[in-house]
């Protein structure tokens, strides 16, 4: 089955097959443009029928390796800037992060692995409040790590696939 055949099933959500969403997401993530997959993931983050953004990011963080953990945390930190750091993660971020280019903090994989999923959930929730476009940036990040997106379950995957389908038809 080709990419457009798969996406056609999700263009009309009533025709989608949640049982096949995991397999379909693998195929779509391999063949669709990464920016479009990222927007589809962001659609799942925004959907009323999925858990809140912070909860989903916390869940994926808990399934990530230290490099992926650092990657998503650094995405979140770029969206909120250094001024909010001291209040986040129980103050641990302010102590852990080292300024990088233009004062934007960067965490190493070792530092990121010291964070808990609950702390990351709080950071993601705050980041969304500060800068709603963080959902797009984190969606782009996770489009590069489809195995982590699959931990969100069939409903979130079907929403992401529907978002990809709608963008590919344009």
Looking at the structure, tell me whether residues 127 and 160 fall in a common domain: no
Looking at the structure, tell me whether residues 74 and 129 fall in a common domain: yes
Looking at the structure, tell me whether residues 57 and 134 fall in a common domain: yes
Q: What is the DSSP letter of 65?
A: -
Which residues, at least 6 apart from 95, have a Cβ–Cβ distance to it below 8 Å? none
Looking at the structure, tell me whether residues 62 and 47 fall in a common domain: no
Looking at the structure, tell me whether residues 58 and 133 fall in a common domain: yes
User: 10 Å Cβ neighbour count for 95?
Assistant: 11
Number of independent structural domains in the chain: 2
pTM recorded for the entire structure: 0.87
Residue 55: both structure tokens together: 């909860």
Tokens 């590919």 locate to 168
- Length of the chain in terms of residues written: 170
Instruction: Note the pLDDT tens digit of each residue in 2-21.
Output: 888 888 888 876 656 667 89
Looking at the structure, tell me whether residues 36 and 113 fall in a common domain: no
Determine contact, residues 76/138, Cβ cutoff 8 Å. yes
Instruction: Note the pLDDT tens digit of each residue in 96-129.
Output: 555 555 556 689 999 999 999 999 999 999 999 9
Question: What confidence tier does 70 reach under pLDDT thresholds 50, 70, 90?
Answer: very high
Q: Which domain does 88 fall in, by range?
A: 53-138
Question: Which among 69, 117, 77, 76 has a CA at the least distance from the CA of 94?
Answer: 77
What is the distance between the alpha carbons of residues 170 and 167, in angstroms, rounded to a whole number? 5
């Amino acid at each position: 089955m080709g990419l457009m055949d798969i996406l056609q099933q999700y263009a009309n959500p009533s025709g989608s097959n949640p049982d096949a969403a995991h397999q379909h997401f693998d195929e779509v993530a391999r063949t669709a443009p990464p920016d479009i997959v990222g927007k589809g993931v962001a659609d799942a983050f925004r959907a009323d029928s999925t858990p809140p953004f912070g909860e989903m990011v916390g869940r994926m963080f808990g399934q990530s390796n230290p490099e992926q953990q650092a990657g998503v945390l650094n995405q979140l930190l770029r969206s909120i800037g250094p001024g909010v750091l001291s209040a986040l993660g129980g103050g641990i971020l302010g102590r852990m992060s080292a300024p990088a280019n233009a004062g934007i903090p960067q965490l190493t994989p070792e530092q990121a692995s010291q964070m808990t999923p609950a702390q990351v959930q709080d950071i993601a929730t705050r980041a969304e409040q500060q800068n709603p476009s963080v959902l797009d940036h984190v969606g782009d990040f996770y489009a590069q790590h489809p195995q982590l997106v699959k931990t969100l379950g069939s409903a979130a995957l079907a929403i992401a696939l529907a978002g990809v389908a709608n963008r590919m038809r344009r």
